[in-house]
């Protein structure tokens, strides 16, 4: 059955307004949601494990009776890994190995420099001690998300990785447990929602307080993260997932259609956009979408996503397409055209760039190596994929020599005088006496 997908043309007068409309998405500032989440957080701070039990039973339809019922022992996860079908285990291990290798290149090292007066200045890099990983539960409970969240923490050298993931109606996902075992998760709690964020932020008798919480979640999770911002480290707040494809006639329209559908099948709000300077590519893709849709098990979601938020955009040139891509700052950007590798350096804003026809987003979702937790909704303008750098931090190290102190004392003293900070000035100048 034919699909109705928005068709835009950058040559139209009102193109920028149409594009703004297409991209419009804002996390609703929902006062009722905020209040509900504030109450959940307060009750976890006040009642600890008891609140976690009551809230999980209420929202996730579990039947927890005490704290031991929501901790899944890691031995159970290791069993799940051991019992995995060989082929699936090999795939999971290949993915983990590639992710580990890629992320190993992100490790930052400490460094020191010495100035002309023998003072040394440096940066000491250390891993976080304990982090929390939020893995969505239920239908969106993905083993790949476990790998993508936990492995960078493991590579960074984090001491303790605490995973939380709700288990609606108590259903455990063996692949998720296997991935947790494979990725070095230290403890796994079957809790989710705002209550899990609160538990990780403040700690309960059972759930240890962590230094940072990463991983995407639903709107309750997003609201809870916003409320604890500043108290605990956070990654980002995820919006709906998106793909932007720039294509020419050298890549199969069927491949492109499948890539658009792969994005769309996540969620009705997911966004799939394809841009081409070649109108024939756009109509061939439109046709491929029509042909393919009926074969898709998740066609209802795909149709809602493509018809609601998808678009095919005609542009004048590849140059214009790249300009648009930089304006949109997509989470996933496919450069599916000839000599695409020569265009990568022109991309200023994108979460991940998939270069050439043999690089569908799906490879990056699972096993290419780079992370699949990426900045959405244009936030690639200022943020990065989840990485090892999210699990390391830096301390400045300053070691001034007696000679160096004489120079710095005058400089700091004078500037402190002009900021009317006399104790600063005194503290600096006393070092000349040494």
State which of positions 308-347 bind its own copies (CB under 8 A): 340-341, 344-345, 347
> 69 or 406: whose CB is closer to its own copies?
406
Q: Is 46 in the site for its own copies (CB under 8 A)?
A: no
> 71 or 160: whose CB is closer to its own copies?
160
**Candidate list 45, 78, 338, 431; residue touching its own copies; CB under 8 A:** 431
State which of positions 233-262 bind its own copies (CB under 8 A): 233, 236-237, 252, 254-255, 258-259, 261-262
Q: Is 54 in the site for its own copies (CB under 8 A)?
A: no
360 close to 272: Cβ distance less than 8 angstroms: no
In angstroms, how far is CA 248 from the centroid of its own chain?
29
Structure tokens belonging to residue 65: 């009776």
State which of positions 286-305 bind its own copies (CB under 8 A): 296-298, 302
**Candidate list 212, 247, 286, 324; residue touching its own copies; CB under 8 A:** 212
For 230, left (φ over 0), alpha (ψ -120 to 50), or beta?
left
Stretch that binds its own copies, among 73-81, 181-189, 197-205, 227-235 (CB under 8 A): 227-235
For 316, left (φ over 0), alpha (ψ -120 to 50), or beta?
alpha
**Candidate list 23, 40, 181, 264; residue touching its own copies; CB under 8 A:** 264
> 119 or 195: whose CB is closer to its own copies?
119
3-state percent helix, strand, coil for the chain, nearest multiple of 5: 50, 15, 35
Q: Is 263 annotated as a binding residue?
A: yes
Distance separating the N- and C-terminal Cα atoms of the chain: 85
State which of positions 175-204 bind its own copies (CB under 8 A): 175
- What is the DSSP track for 253-305? HHHHHHHHHHHHTT-TT-EEEEEES-HHHHHHHHHHHHHHHTT-TTHHHHHHH
Catalytic one of 242, 265, 331, 361: 331
- Interior angle at CA 176, CA 368 and CA 72, nearest 5: 145
Distance between CA 320 and CA 305 in Å, rounded?
A: 25
Q: Residue 257 — φ and ψ, nearest 5°?
A: -65, -45
**Candidate list 39, 68, 124, 339; residue touching its own copies; CB under 8 A:** 124
For 395, left (φ over 0), alpha (ψ -120 to 50), or beta?
beta
Stretch that binds its own copies, among 12-20, 74-82, 148-156, 365-373 (CB under 8 A): 365-373
Q: Is 332 annotated as a binding residue?
A: yes
Q: Is 371 annotated as a binding residue?
A: no
Q: Is 427 annotated as a binding residue?
A: no
Residue 234, helix vs strand vs coil = strand
Q: Is 208 in the site for its own copies (CB under 8 A)?
A: no
Q: Is 86 annotated as a binding residue?
A: no
Q: Is 229 in the site for its own copies (CB under 8 A)?
A: yes
**Candidate list 11, 20, 88, 300; residue touching its own copies; CB under 8 A:** 88
Q: Is 268 in the site for its own copies (CB under 8 A)?
A: no
Note if 332 is an active site residue.
yes
Q: Is 33 in the site for its own copies (CB under 8 A)?
A: no
77 close to 178: Cβ distance less than 8 angstroms: yes
- Give CA separation, 385 vs 14, 93, 192, 335, in Å: 33, 22, 23, 18
Q: What is the 3-state secondary structure (H, E, C) of 302-326?
A: HHHHHHHHCEEEECCCHHHHHHHHH
Structure tokens belonging to residue 320: 């214009």
State which of positions 91-120 bind its own copies (CB under 8 A): 91-92, 94-95, 98, 101-102, 105-106, 111, 113, 115, 119
Stretch that binds its own copies, among 17-25, 74-82, 310-318, 369-377 (CB under 8 A): 369-377
Stretch that binds its own copies, among 14-22, 148-156, 312-320, 351-359 (CB under 8 A): 351-359
Computed over its alpha carbons, how large is the radius of gyration of the chain?
25
Q: Residue positions in the annotated binding site? A: 134, 195, 218, 241, 263, 266, 332, 365, 419, 424
Residues recognised as catalytic:
331-332
Q: Residue positions in the annotated binding site for substrate? A: 241, 263, 266, 332, 365, 419, 424
Q: Residue positions in the annotated binding site for NAD(+)? A: 134, 195, 218
């Amino acid at each position: 059955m034919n699909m109705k997908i928005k068709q835009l043309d950058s040559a139209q007068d009102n193109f920028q307004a149409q594009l703004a409309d297409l991209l419009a998405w804002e996390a609703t500032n929902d006062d009722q949601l905020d209040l509900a989440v504030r109450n959940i957080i307060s009750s976890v701070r006040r009642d600890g494990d008891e609140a976690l039990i009551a809230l999980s039973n209420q929202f996730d339809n579990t039947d927890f009776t005490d704290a031991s019922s929501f901790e899944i022992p890691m031995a159970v996860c290791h069993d799940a890994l051991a019992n995995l079908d060989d082929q699936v285990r090999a795939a999971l291990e290949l993915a983990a190995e590639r992710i580990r290798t890629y992320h190993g290149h992100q490790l930052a090292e400490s460094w020191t420099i010495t100035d002309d007066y023998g003072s040394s200045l440096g940066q000491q890099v250390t891993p976080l001690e304990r982090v929390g990983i939020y893995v969505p539960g239920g239908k969106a409970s993905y083993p790949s998300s476990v790998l993508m969240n936990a492995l960078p923490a493991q590579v960074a050298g984090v001491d303790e990785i605490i995973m939380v993931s709700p288990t609606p109606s108590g259903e455990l996902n063996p692949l998720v447990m296997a991935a947790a075992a494979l990725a070095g998760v230290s403890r796994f709690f079957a809790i989710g929602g705002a209550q899990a964020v609160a538990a990780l932020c403040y700690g309960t008798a059972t759930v240890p307080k962590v230094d940072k919480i990463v991983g995407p979640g639903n709107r309750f999770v997003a609201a809870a993260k916003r409320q604890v911002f500043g108290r605990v480290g956070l990654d980002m707040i995820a919006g709906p997932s998106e793909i932007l494809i720039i294509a020419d006639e050298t890549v199969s329209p069927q491949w492109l259609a499948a890539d658009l559908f792969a994005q769309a099948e996540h969620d009705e709000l997911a966004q799939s956009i394809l841009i081409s300077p070649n109108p024939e590519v756009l109509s061939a893709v439109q046709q491929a979408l029509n042909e393919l849709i009926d074969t898709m098990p998740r066609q209802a979601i795909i149709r809602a996503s493509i018809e609601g938020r998808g678009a095919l955009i005609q542009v004048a040139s590849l140059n214009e397409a790249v300009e648009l891509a930089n304006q949109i700052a997509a989470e996933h950007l496919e450069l599916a055209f000839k000599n695409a590798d020569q265009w990568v350096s022109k991309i200023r804003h994108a979460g991940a760039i998939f270069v050439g026809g043999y690089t569908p987003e799906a490879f990056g979702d699972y096993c290419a190596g780079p992370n699949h937790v990426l900045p959405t909704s244009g936030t690639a303008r200022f943020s990065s994929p989840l990485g090892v750098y999210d699990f390391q931090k830096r301390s400045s190290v300053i070691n001034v020599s007696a000679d160096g102190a004489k120079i710095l004392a005058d400089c700091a003293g004078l500037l402190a005088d002009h900021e009317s900070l006399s104790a600063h000035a005194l503290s600096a100048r006393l070092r000349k006496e040494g």
